[in-house]
């Protein structure tokens, strides 16, 4: 999954030693470290063999530290648009729930709702089988 923020850069404030794959890497003060989110978001060591697949259920697990998936960055310097994007998403869901009853199609139904999902930053499902029934206007 790809978010709107592709990397985070931080300047090291003191000489530091990082450990990676059993090796120690000396990082001098004032060096800039880049964290590439697209690499972290698809890392099999973190997400397992389904790392490059859209599996929303993985976020229900309680074993995440909080920095494995950071589409808007992390901590006090996260993306200024994060809260706006969260509110936009909530408003879109609220509008759908206000106007439609959403259900799964019956077994014998051929009604489907195609959702275009060819976005640059998303690897979502290409088809969503849901039935959107408009609520009847009350007089």
pLDDT at 26: 92
Q: Is 104 left (phi over 0), alpha (psi -120 to 50) or beta?
A: beta
Start-end of H helices in 3-123: 37-40, 44-47, 82-99
Q: Which residues contact 66 (CB under 8 A, 6 or more apart)?
A: 74
What sign does the CA torsion over 120, 125, 129, 135 have? negative
pLDDT at 61: 64
Q: Which two tokens stand for residue 29?
A: 């003060």
Segments in the chain below pLDDT 70 = 1-5, 61-66, 107-128, 137-139
pLDDT at 50: 86
Q: What is the SS3 string spanning 100-112?
A: EEEECCCCCCCCC
Triad 102, 54, 74: Cα angle to 5°: 100
- For the entire predicted model, the pTM comes to 0.50
pLDDT at 15: 94
Q: Which residue has the tokens 């706006």?
A: 84
Q: Which residue has the tokens 């978001």?
A: 41
Q: Is 73 left (phi over 0), alpha (psi -120 to 50) or beta?
A: left
């Amino acid at each position: 999954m790809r978010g709107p923020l592709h990397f985070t850069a931080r300047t090291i404030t003191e000489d530091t030693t990082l450990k990676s794959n059993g090796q120690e890497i000396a990082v001098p003060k004032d060096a800039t470290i880049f964290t590439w989110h697209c690499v972290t978001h698809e890392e099999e060591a973190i997400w397992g063999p389904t790392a490059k697949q859209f599996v929303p259920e993985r976020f229900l697990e309680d074993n995440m530290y909080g920095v494995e998936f950071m589409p808007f960055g992390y901590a006090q310097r996260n993306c200024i648009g994060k809260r706006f994007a969260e509110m936009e998403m909530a408003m879109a869901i609220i509008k759908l729930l206000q106007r439609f009853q959403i259900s799964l199609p019956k077994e014998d139904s051929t009604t489907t709702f195609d959702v275009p999902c060819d976005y640059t930053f998303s690897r979502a499902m290409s088809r969503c089988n849901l039935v959107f029934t408009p609520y009847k206007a009350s007089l």
